[in-house]
Amino acid sequence: MTRYIGKEMSRVDGVAKVTGRAKYAAEFRAPNLAYGFIVLGTIAKGRITEIDTREAESSTGVIRVFTHLNAPKLGPKASHEQAPPRATEEQDKSFRALQSDRIYFNMQPVALVVAETYEQARYASRLVRVSYNAEKHQTDTEAVRERARVPSQGPPPKPRGNPEEAMRVAPVKVEAEYRIPIEHHNPMEPHAAVAVWEGDRLTIFDKSQEVYNVRKHLASSFNVPEANVSVTSPYVGGAFGSSLRPNYYPSLTAMAARELKRPIKVVYTRTQMFTGHGYRPYTIQRVTLGAERSGKLTAMIHDVVHNTSTTEEFTDNTTGFTRQVYACPNLRATEKITGTDLNTPTWMRAPGAVSGMFALESAMDELAYALKVDPLELRLINYAEVDPESGKPFSSKALRECYRLGAEKFGWKDRKFAPRSMRDGRLLVGWGTATGVWGAFQMPATARITLRADGTAHVASATSDIGPGTYTVITIIAAEYLGLKAEQVQFELGDTKFPRAPAQGGSWTTASVGSAVHGAALAIGARLLALANREESSPLKAAAASDVEMLDGRLRLKSDPSKFVNVADVMRRNNLTEVTETFEAKPSVERKKYATLAHGAQFVEVKVDPDLGIIRVTRAIEVTACGKIINPKASHSQEIGGVVWGIGMALQEATEIDHRFGRIMNPNLQHYHVPVNADIHEIETLFVEEEDQIVNPLGVKGMGELGMVGIPAAIANAVFHATGRRIRELPITPDKLL
């Protein structure tokens, strides 16, 4: 009875988005609204010695200027609700604005100007005069690399076998260092909040990936019960990690609103977004691989150092997936962090994985050339049939089929092995490949479904939709299992009045919230069956809940659809206008017996101008194995987006810091380069569907992060093949090639 699952569907929220009916955080209105504008500091470390707000306060329309001198102190800090796996923190040590005279990073907020209009607030922000006592700062991760320490979030994972000894005797070895600069999320929608107090009750409209986390953060900040805080975030114009944490602006906005007893709106400028949330950390990786002459890996050592802030620890688990990709008996994969006078990093699309796999998959390519073995063949020689780390079987793994299909589609058999051996006229042509991997995670999630006698349904869960199409995929799942048409289902999300759901991160939303919706739909079917079977004449008398399904307003036997009851009749006979079920889905006990991962293979062609060093990615084929595909249209869109971001990471993206001042030099979209249409050529995305009864009831695995994981490595490997130059530091810009 596949009605919707596996079929292409356009976004149910598409019309609302293109007509402007969809309301983003900054678009919510409140009576008597005032506007806040953030003033940023200009030193990297030290103290504020004086702050003169007199001219700003006497400026037209200004209501108040908040600084550390007059802003109330925010309450005790609650621990994080949910963070991606192995990245939890005991206590929320996140930066809070205007709490002291201390400066921890450049472009830190030092004042909030509130005025009757946005323009008045922005103008007056330039009249605030701040004096500092600057202290010696350090923003260069390379300079503090030797001070790196193991994060205090539990013991590091133990080595496998004896990697040092195995490396010593390995017949073939490669060793290299790889670097990734700081990179910033640049979503289309800037972060924003509108805060409204009524007595000690707060309503806030916020750009968030987890409304319950924002609620907890604000309740602890203002010492009010969580029940008194309502957080709404129905539409998010891109986030990919930049809104996983509450950031500093919701509490800043709510503080001003409470003090002034009127609604306040605060919106980041594009520049403020570079220190207003985290970033992908500056990462240094040393990878050493040892192998037999046959290509069989005997030892892998992957050591990582990346920066964090001086105020809190952050780690993105850079080496986590290194342990699970290739069959290798001896392995050490470590991660250390080192403090810099910058704001705290955060999770950014494919956190840890895309960074770690850039280094590992580049090193695998280097090993292939040291062995004179085809790079794809080397990956097949070291294919892991079971999880190398735990020894557990995979719940499903179609990576071998991804390699085969991708190579065939790409024409890999025609690749000449030697670098600089392929040309298109005067352009150098390079073909590179890499492997992608991500966890098939599931988190506890709750959903509520109300089925009405008129054949419509309302579905609710406090999840987010940062762009992957959650509104649509949950509508599909609900329509499928309630037996309704998609247009009969209304799904609402992004509000603390709805049942609790995890953050939209980690690519676990469909697996988690989708499973909750599936469970709630089945619970409604079971309830209707029990009601129908109160009657002696019920044709479903002997049926168990698992024997029936809903379709077109009927509850019917799966084995014999001619035996059915009309849902509306059953409800009418029981004086019900609607039936509501709330269901919490949790990972099954069965999952613990298996390794659960999603995989992909990437094949990339680059063409390089030998005189100018300009690189174009002319073709990319990505083949993904991530369980069942619910909505192919949105799924291809996700993977294409991942490839585009991977191209940006490989060739363009870098946050440049002038370490003399500890200041970001390119905090805007003019100078922080991301791919535009002219940079993107042919991208083909393919899926190898897996039947997986273990991961969750729907058999789905995450794909949002996976789509970009292997892309930067595949591009770097293609650049080497084209030019003979191995670039180990991203982005690969013309100056590095020349």
3-state secondary structure 177-208: EEEECCECCCCCCCCEEEEEEECCEEEEEECC
Strands 548-551 and 554-557, how do they pair?
antiparallel
Q: Would you tell me how many other CB atoms lie within 10 Å of the CB of residue 174?
A: 20
Please answer whether residues 711 and 643 qualify as being in contact, where contact means their C-beta atoms are separated by less than 8 angstroms: yes
DSSP string, 655-674: --EETTTTEES--STTTS--
Between vectors from CA 209 to CA 207 and to CA 212, what angle results, nearest 5°? Answer: 100
Distances (CA, A) of 431 to 222, 286, 410, 598: 56, 24, 9, 24
Spatial distance between the Cα atoms of 511 and 12, rounded to a whole number of angstroms: 19
The H-assigned helical ranges of 493-544 are 509-532
Residue 630 contacts by C-beta under 8 Å, 6 or more apart in sequence?
5, 6, 473, 476, 477, 510, 514, 698, 700
With CA atoms as reference, report the closest residue to 303 among 414, 142, 148.
Answer: 148
Strands (E) across 465-509 are located at 489-492
Q: How far apart are the first and last CA of the chain?
A: 59
SS3 392: coil
Q: How is residue 389 annotated by DSSP? A: T
**Of how many residues is the chain composed?**
738
Q: Would you tell me how many other CB atoms lie within 10 Å of the CB of residue 350?
A: 32
Active site residue 50: no
**Residue type, position 174, single letter:** V
Alpha carbons within 13 angstroms on the beta-carbon side of residue 202 total 31
DSSP string, 131-163: EEEE------GGGGGGG-B--SSSPPPPPBS-H
Of 57, 313, 705, 729, which one is the catalytic site residue? 705
Between vectors from CA 63 to CA 61 and to CA 65, what angle results, nearest 5°? Answer: 115
- Catalytic residue numbers, as ranges: 705
